[in-house]
Amino acid sequence: MAKLFETYKIRDVEFKNRIVMAPMCMYSSHNEDGMIEDWHKIHYGARAVGQVGLILVEATAVQPEGRISAQDLGIWSDDHIEGLAETVRLVKQHGAKIGIQLAHAGRKATVDGDIFAPSAIAFSETYKTPVEMTKDDLLETIQAFKDGAIRAKKAGFDVIELHGAHGYLINEFLSPLSNKRTDTYGGSAENRYRILREIIDEVRTVWEGPLFVRISAHDYTEGGMTAELYVEMAKWMKEQGVDLIDVSSGAVVPAAIDAFPGYQVTFSETIKKGADIATSAVGLITTGIQAEEILKNNRADMILLARELLRDPYWAYTAAKELKVEIKAPKQYERGWNF
């Protein structure tokens, strides 16, 4: 049996395969209220029909000022629960598990009003200069992540992922390139990690299920973070009860990235082996054979697909044929489609 199609269990949740839909913003909450719309239900439901094992809903803001764009999904209000729960129901009825990525955009937010970050440094000349967060701001944001986890649980999600990558708020604290604070939330690695530590601790008081953290394992800039430096933080995450590190890279500062097939897999491998923790690999993974190599060589435990699943919601069937594996199609397809 190809490892890509083996079941995988984290805590009490069993995934039918190792294929994961990466969180990708759809910018489709058109009333700018953070609500799920029909597009989201169809979009995520289609990938469940396509036999993806775990679907991670896009970056969902825990505070309105923490949206990447005004059209992003939100989870800062109980009003958001109903639409999210309906999406969960639609996905689960096709045998997939579903997670949600709790997020705060930090200095990369493009909404009206003040935006917030560890330090008052703009991402680039085209972005607004953020307000440096006070201790009260930090406490409110940590509480917002906890409240988001409570709402995610009420909506029925199987997995929560904390977005600590791609230059958004948590990532901004973790990297010395964007965190210039001189208090207990800046300076040493332990201090820069403090906000994530406190978020994890608070989330774990209300969430018993699988908990992932997405990181940007390389800043591609001198003086920034690398996968080797993240090993220490990954060990701290494991001690706190994080189950899997979702290993991406880049975007905390503007930087050139040489993207090639599997270019982030070595980062996943470094963190998996260095911290003895489960990881997922992502980034220009396009074929079943490529995914199988990553898993069989113990470079990651799950495979995240992003653009490839936008191009082909039924990628799992293509990969199964490539790897000579038979997977069960939805009963509605059995007469008309020979898998």
Quick: pLDDT tens for 262-285. Answer: 999 999 999 999 999 999 999 999
Question: What span, in angstroms and rounded, lies between the C-alpha atoms of 38 and 321?
Answer: 32
254: left (phi over 0), alpha (psi -120 to 50) or beta: beta
Q: Are 305 and 314 in contact (CB under 8 A)?
A: no
Residue with tokens 């965190």: 179
* Rounded Cα–Cα distance for residues 19 and 4 (Å): 7
- Give pTM, 2 decimals: 0.97
Q: What is the pLDDT of residue 299?
A: 98
Instruction: Give domain 3-333's CATH architecture.
Output: Alpha-Beta Barrel (3.20)
How many whole angstroms separate alpha carbon 184 and alpha carbon 70? 32
Amino acid sitting at position 319 = A
Provide the residue type at 246 as one letter: D
Residue with tokens 């967060």: 133
| Number of Cβ atoms within 10 Å of the Cβ of 131 | 15
The runs of H, that is alpha helices, within 175-322 are: 189-192, 194-204, 227-239, 265-275, 288-296, 307-311, 315-322
What is the average pLDDT value for the chain, to the nearest integer?
96
Please enumerate in sequence order all residues whose Cβ is within 8 A of that of 293, keeping only pairs 6 or more positions apart, or say none.
Answer: 299
- List Cβ neighbours of 38 (8 Å cut-off, separation of 6 or more): none
- Residues in the chain predicted with pLDDT less than 70, given as ranges, are 335-339
